[in-house]
Amino acid sequence: MEFLLDPDVTFLNHGSYGACPEPVFARYQELQRELERNPVEFLARRFDELTAEARAALATFVGARAEDLVFVPNATAGLNAVIRSLRLEPGDEVLTTRHEYGAVTRTWEFAGAKLVYAEPEELAVAIGPRTRAVSVSQITSPTALVLPVEEICAAAREAGVLSIVDGAHVPGQLPLDLARLGADVYAGNCHKWLCAPKGSAFLWARPEHQGWIDPLVVSWGFDEGFVRRHVGRARATRPRRSPSARRSRRTAASTSSAAAGSPPPSTTACRPSGRRPRHRCGRPRWTRPIRRRCSGGSTTSTGSRS
């Protein structure tokens, strides 16, 4: 498989940022060009379908349901959402190791967690009565150890403790079956050893934990479930109706009003004396006062907006 790498460089550090194979990069650029040809069409009308297809493919690859995972810029961002959403009480402890990625450790410190360190092989037996969560990497970033996360997650579940797994280096290196792994929360990168475009990562959570995990940015779709909450999708733009559709809607409204015993909108006491100027997109202009003619013969003006 061909890459776009500098031929004078022997590139082995996919653990920092993986290089994209040429076919992957070509498809990536193709989608960017489609976006720039019509940003509103792409983001407001096609985005949900395109990301749903990508999530379904990724879910199959990592052994999960598509509705249980969301895209994030990187594993650290996904774990930030989890850690900063977790409400820690005084005395709660977070069990971890000294082999974890520094940014994740800093996030726990920022959240005010009391970190308790144990050796990787001792994590399962180190869970205590004050342990609120176990935070562990499947493949450690600084030391490249593969930890026994299935055993650790099983012990955490038996103790009623939350298990949070940093899988930043796993996709593309180890087979991954999230349904079997047993974690409560898992974050992984696709732009490292899987060689996806930069900024491709995912956050996965068991259904019973999805409700309390808030995104780092609150936007549209926040109250529409786990996937919508974390996608922060573009606000949908209502398509313009054709003139015939608008006439049909007005006729239906008039018929409905007449059946209810009230006059149709066109016969109310006050109406605009002329057509309201509109932008090219169809939105009314509010740059000048709108003069209205009342049934008594007087003329009134509304305020203006710019």
Per-residue pLDDT tens over the stretch 187-210: 999 999 999 999 999 999 999 999
- More confident position, 247 or 271: 247
Tens of pLDDT, residues 54-102: 999 999 999 999 999 999 999 999 999 999 999 999 999 999 999 999 9
pTM: 0.75
Looking from the CA of 94 toward its CB, the CA atoms found within 13 Å total 25
Average pLDDT value for residue range 25-46? 94
Average pLDDT rounded to a whole number, residues 168-188: 96
Reported confidence tier of residue 255, pLDDT bands at 50, 70, 90: low
Quote the pLDDT of residue 233.
57
* pLDDT for 269 beyond 60: no
Average pLDDT for 29-49: 94
Strand, coil or helix: 144: coil
Name the token pair of 253.
Answer: 């409204």
CB neighbourhood size of 271 (10 A): 12
CA distance 109 to 80: 11
CA 87/CA 89 separation, integer angstroms:
7
What local confidence, expressed as pLDDT, does residue 12 receive?
A: 87
> Considering the chain, what is the average pLDDT of its residues?
83
Dihedral (Cα; 51, 56, 61, 67), 10-degree rounding: 100
How does DSSP classify residue 187? E
According to the model, what pLDDT value does residue 306 have?
37
CB atoms inside a 10 Å sphere around CB 141: 19
Topology adopted by domain 22-231: Aspartate Aminotransferase; domain 2 (3.40.640)
Predicted local confidence at residue 283, as pLDDT: 52
pLDDT at 157 over 70: yes
Degrees to nearest 5, angle at CA 119 with 117 and 121: 135
Q: Helix, strand, coil shares of the chain as percentages rounded to 5?
A: 35, 15, 45
Angle at 80 between CA 77 and CA 83, to 5 degrees: 155
Residues 6+ apart with CB under 8 A from 28: 20, 197
Q: Residue range 162-170: average pLDDT?
A: 97
Domain range summary for the chain, segments of one domain joined by + = 22-231
